[in-house]
């Protein structure tokens, strides 16, 4: 029995008028696993959320902060103009 394996990737970067940059990346494999990463950056700070979903629908969410921590998130979202 022949089996094929593949994956598709979507990537998009948007520059906002306030100087912010949002990068979106989605990778899905032929087994039904998906990983979506969204990174928002303003100045020297950035906030990334990676959501991994397996073929059964189980999700894992990973947050990453650069030059900030969880306590700075509300102020970062205020500068950004919306929540991620």
Q: Which residue has the tokens 């970067």?
A: 13
Instruction: Give the number of other Cβ atoms within 10 Å of residue 80's Cβ.
Output: 19
Q: What is the pTM of this model?
A: 0.86
Cα dihedral sign, 51-48-71-66: positive
27 within domain boundaries: yes
| Cross-strand pairs, 10 | 26
Structure tokens at 52: 């991994």
3 within domain boundaries: no
32 within domain boundaries: yes
Task: Tell me the C-alpha distance between 2 and 72, whole Å.
Answer: 51
Give the pLDDT confidence score for residue 81 in this predicted structure. 84
pLDDT tens, residue order, the chain (84 aa):
656 678 999 999 999 998 999 999 999 999 999 999 999 999 899 999 999 999 999 999 999 999 999 999 999 999 888 887
12 within domain boundaries: yes
| Cross-strand pairs, 38 | 24, 49
- The CATH number of the domain where 73 resides is what? 2.20.25
84 within domain boundaries: no
48 within domain boundaries: yes
Range of the domain at 14: 8-77
Q: Number of structural domains, the chain? A: 1
């Amino acid at each position: 029995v022949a089996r094929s394996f593949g994956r598709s990737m979507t990537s998009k970067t948007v520059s906002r008028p306030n100087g912010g940059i949002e990068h979106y990346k989605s990778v899905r494999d032929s087994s039904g696993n998906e990983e979506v990463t969204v990174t928002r950056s303003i100045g020297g700070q950035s906030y990334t959320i990676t959501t991994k979903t397996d073929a059964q629908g189980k999700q894992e969410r990973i947050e990453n902060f650069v030059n900030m921590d969880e306590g700075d998130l509300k102020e970062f979202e205020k500068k950004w103009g919306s929540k991620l």
